[in-house]
């Protein structure tokens, strides 16, 4: 997920307290809902004598905390025992020689810049790691084209030499590279961890924790975090959630607001997902357009993320009167609410605590309410003028 929002000037308002806490390289002190996996790594890879040994394989979809889990483990262990850990992203370094040279540069700055063959590099690597605790994290291992040769050599580097083999954490997405299925390599893997997608509640916990670190108190509330979690939970993607929170904060500061509003969140969502397709918007029937305009108008004027069905009906009837068209009754409107929800223009939920009685709450997603409102107003003015002619 890209945080490419350089077009926004950073305002002087007080929303973001620590920008670094939203960068992809940031490793938080705590990993909410990954504590169990962190304990598994520690128990499997750290011996009672204080040596780090063994190899782990972590897999899962993007945004599930694979890299943060590995680096948090490395940082924690480095505080207790003397180790050197190195992280290499194989999406950037895609051959065994490049990966090994990157690792060796991390161990010794005096290496020659010229490329070494894999065998030359392995011989030099043996000398560098003698009697040392080394942890290597190979991220995005699926992009390493000849990874089988490198891993086989690293796993068996101690044979015939005095070198202590490095501990290795392999990270991949939800698919496993073929060479990791080879028994000569897979037998060296001590522990396998498959990360499950985060639930909405888990993403809420992650957002609360990161907001406490990175945002000023009072600049957000749980409704804002819930809007973001609702979207990100569809893929269980915490990285997407944190990106949208940061973007929302940037939009708030650019607008010189002292708080993140639902409209700022919708603006951020529209950057991570395509804006509502204009052709799909224009293909709606007349009363669906008026109903969606009513929802957009209310949300544009409100600081709330959700509005009750009753207010939507009132706004819809007022717009029908303004445009000179007879309004539909409740049952016909309800069918169109369900249709808009199914098409992805809106999202609905039942009211909970804090709302008197039971009602349907409605929100927009995928585009700012102001953008949808503007498009619909232009279209309706043309459409109804044509009808009058």
Residues making up the binding site for ATP: 198, 210
d(CA 145, CA 179): 10
Binding-site members are 198, 210
* Sign for the pseudo-dihedral over CA of 226, 228, 234, 240: negative
CA distance 47 to 54: 9
CA angle 368, 371, 375 (to 5 degrees): 145
User: Are the C-beta atoms of residues 61 and 1 closer than 8 Å to each other?
Assistant: no
Chain-centre distance for alpha carbon 160:
45
Gap between the Cα atoms of 315 and 105, Å rounded: 65
Decide: 219 and 252 in contact? Cβ < 8 Å: yes
CB 118 within 8 A of CB 98: no
Strand segments, DSSP code E, in 198-306 are none
Q: Helix, strand, or coil here: 374?
A: helix
Question: Which element (helix H / strand E) includes 191?
Answer: strand 191-194
- Total length of the chain: 389
Distance CA 74, CA 69 (A): 9
The values of phi and psi at residue 137, to 5°, are -110, 115
- Whether the CA torsion 346, 347, 350, 353 is positive or negative: it is negative
DSSP string of 53-112, one letter each residue: --EEEEE--TTSSHHHHHHHHHHHHHTTS--EEEEEETTTS-SHHHHHHHHHHHH-TTS-
| Element holding 378 (H helix, E strand) | helix 369-388
CA distances from 269 to 104, 232, 273 (A): 41, 10, 6
Residues 228 and 262: their CA atoms lie apart, in Å, by: 10
């Amino acid at each position: 997920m890209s945080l490419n929002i350089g077009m926004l000037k950073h305002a002087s308002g007080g929303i973001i307290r620590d920008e670094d806490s939203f960068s992809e390289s940031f490793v938080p002190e705590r990993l909410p809902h990954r504590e169990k996996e962190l304990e598994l790594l520690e128990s499997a890879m750290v011996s009672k004598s204080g040596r780090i040994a063994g190899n782990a394989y972590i897999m899962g979809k993007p945004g599930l905390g694979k890299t943060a889990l590995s680096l948090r483990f490395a940082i924690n262990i480095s505080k207790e025992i003397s180790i050197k850990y190195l992280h290499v992203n194989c999406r950037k370094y895609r051959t065994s020689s490049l990966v090994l040279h990157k690792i060796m540069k991390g161990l010794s700055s005096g290496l020659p810049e010229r490329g070494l063959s894999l065998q030359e590099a392995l011989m030099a690597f043996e000398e560098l790691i003698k009697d040392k605790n080394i942890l290597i994290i190979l991220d995005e291992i699926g992009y390493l084209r000849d990874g089988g040769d490198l891993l086989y050599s690293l796993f068996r580097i101690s044979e015939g030499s005095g070198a202590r083999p490095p501990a290795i954490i392999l990270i991949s997405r939800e698919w496993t590279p073929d060479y990791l299925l080879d028994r000569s390599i897979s037998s060296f893997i001590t522990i396998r961890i498959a990360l499950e997608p985060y639930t909405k509640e888990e993403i809420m916990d992650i957002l609360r924790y990161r907001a406490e670190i990175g945002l000023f108190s009072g600049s957000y509330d749980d409704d804002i975090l819930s809007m973001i979690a609702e979207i990100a939970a569809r893929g269980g993607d915490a990285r997407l959630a944190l990106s949208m929170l940061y973007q929302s904060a940037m939009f708030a500061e650019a607008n010189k607001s002292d708080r993140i509003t639902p409209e700022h969140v919708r603006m951020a969502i529209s950057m991570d997902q395509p804006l509502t397709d204009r052709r799909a918007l224009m293909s709606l029937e007349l009363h669906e357009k008026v109903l969606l305009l009513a929802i957009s108008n209310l949300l544009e004027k409100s600081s709330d993320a959700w509005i009750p069905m009753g207010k939507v009906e009132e706004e819809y009837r007022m717009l029908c009167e303004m445009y000179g068209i007879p309004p539909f009754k409740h049952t016909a409107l309800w069918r169109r609410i369900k249709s808009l929800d199914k098409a992805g223009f809106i999202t609905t939920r039942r009211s909970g605590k804090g709302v008197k009685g039971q009602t349907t709450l409605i929100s927009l997603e995928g585009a700012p309410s102001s953008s949808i409102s503007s498009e619909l107003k232009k279209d309706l003015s043309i459409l109804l003028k044509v009808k009058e002619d």
